[in-house]
Every structure is written in C-alpha cells, then in structure tokens.
A = this chain, B = another copy of it.
Amino acid sequence: MAPRKRVSHSLENVVEATIDLLDESGEGALTFRALATRLGGGVGSIYWYVSSREELLDRATDEVMGRVLAETDALVDGPDPIGNVRAVSLAMFEEMVRRPWLGNYLMRNTSVQTNSIRIFERLGQQLMTLDLSPKQRFHAVSSIISYVVGVAVDMAQPPPREFFESGLEPAEFMKAFADGWRAFDADEFPFIHQIVDEFERHDDVDVFRSGLDMLLAGLRQQAGA
C-alpha cells in the first residue's frame, strides 16, 4: 500500500488538538499554523471543519463543558438544593482553574455552546423547589454563573511579566509584591495594611469559596429558608 500523501482530519480531531494546545500552552499558542503543524497538515484544511478561530474556541469550550456536565451529574442529588448548586459551582470553578483559557470563552456564543445552556438549566432546576419567583430564580442563577466565571477569569490571568523576569519562586514573588503594598502610606491605606498578610498567603480557591458562600447565604435568606 502506497503511503498516504495527505493527512485525514475530522472535527473531533481538530477540536481535540485545539484543547490540547490550549491546555499545554494557553490561548496565545492557539494559532492556525501551530494547530496545522500539530495535526500534520496544512493551514487551510482547518477551515474545512471550522469557519473561524472564534468557532474553534467555542467548540473547544463546549466540548469541555460537556465533560463538566457529565462529571457533575452525581453532584445534584443531595437533599439541599443550594448545597447542590454549591457543589456544581465548585466543580466548574476547579475546571476553570485547570484550564485558564476556559473562562474567557464561556457564556459567549450560546447558539453553539449547547452545554452552557445545560449548565444553566442544571443550576436553575435546583432552585425550582425553593420559594422564589421566576424572576428571582433567573437573577440568582445568572448572578451565580457570572460570579463563578468572573472570579475564574480574574484568577486565570497570567502573572505579570515582572514575575518571569525576576526568576523568583511564586511564593517569593508574592512576598515581594506584598512588600510593595506594605510600603504604602499607613494612614492613607489602612485597609491594605490590615489585610496584606492575608493577601500574601491567600489561596485563590479559598477566596472563591468564601464569596460563593456569601452569595448562597444571601440566596438562602431570600428563599426564606
């Protein structure tokens, strides 16, 4: 059999390679040329399966959200609906910590991203047993998702270039950064001084969980439970 002169792709292949590229080297590394090289083919071929870079990212996002959906299937049967919402939110957030590129493209093009709607539905269903108006439910789910995605996007931001230039360990750089805060005038920035120690040793997930619990406490209160 003569060796193939051409590679053969598929939408699954392309999306898979896209996700791998994003996972390994971040969003900046996702170029059509890099993707083509990884697939062993030419640049133009990708456009057969996908009509733009944006669609590429949408499809990758939707695929990952599908997996999140599958993984959170079991988290939704607990007795406390708000607890279930909390569990799903945490799982979502953790996925976005693992994949810093994810947050930026979530909740974008809902016509392609079917699985985002399913997450929305899943969270909303939990609130259907609570004593809330449809409007309150809609607001609550929207806010929770915005919070989850917002914090994840915030925290996914790559460290400033000064970090790479310094060659410091993360903890050392954090210390240096906190010291910069400590150098602020104590009278003008009393709050900064009060929390700078917490800031220096904080864990992103803790902060996220803390805010999520505030949000859910407010929701619980609203539901009169």
A residues whose Cβ falls under 8 Å from a Cβ of B: 107-109, 111, 117, 120-121, 124-125, 127-128, 134-144, 146-147, 149-151, 153-154, 157, 160, 162, 180-181, 184, 188-192, 194-195, 197-199, 202, 206-208, 210-219, 221-222
Q: Closest approach, in angstroms, between the C-beta of A120 and any C-beta of chain B?
A: 7
Name the prevailing secondary structure of the A interface residues: helix
Q: Are A138 and B180 in contact (CB under 8 A)?
A: no
In the complex, A195 Cα to B146 Cα: how many Å? 17
Which of B142, B160, B208 sits near A207, CB closer than 8 Å?
B142
Q: Are A154 and B150 in contact (CB under 8 A)?
A: yes
Known contacts A216-B218, A221-B221, A195 near B134 by CB under 8 Å = yes
Residues of chain B lying within 8 A (CB to CB) of residue A140? 210-211, 214
Known contacts A143-B207, A180-B111, A137 near B215 by CB under 8 Å = no
- Max chain B C-beta neighbours (<10 A), residue from A141, A206, A214, A222: A214
Residues of chain B lying within 8 A (CB to CB) of residue A153? 150, 153
Which of B108, B111, B146, B190 sits near A151, CB closer than 8 Å?
B146
Residues of chain B lying within 8 A (CB to CB) of residue A202? 138
From A204, which residue of chain B is reached at the shortest CB distance?
Answer: B142
Residues of chain B lying within 8 A (CB to CB) of residue A150? 146-147, 149-151, 153-154
In the complex, A97 Cα to B36 Cα: how many Å? 39
Residues of chain B lying within 8 A (CB to CB) of residue A180? 111
From A199, which residue of chain B is reached at the shortest CB distance?
Answer: B138
In the complex, A184 Cα to B118 Cα: how many Å? 11
Q: Are B195 and A143 in contact (CB under 8 A)?
A: no
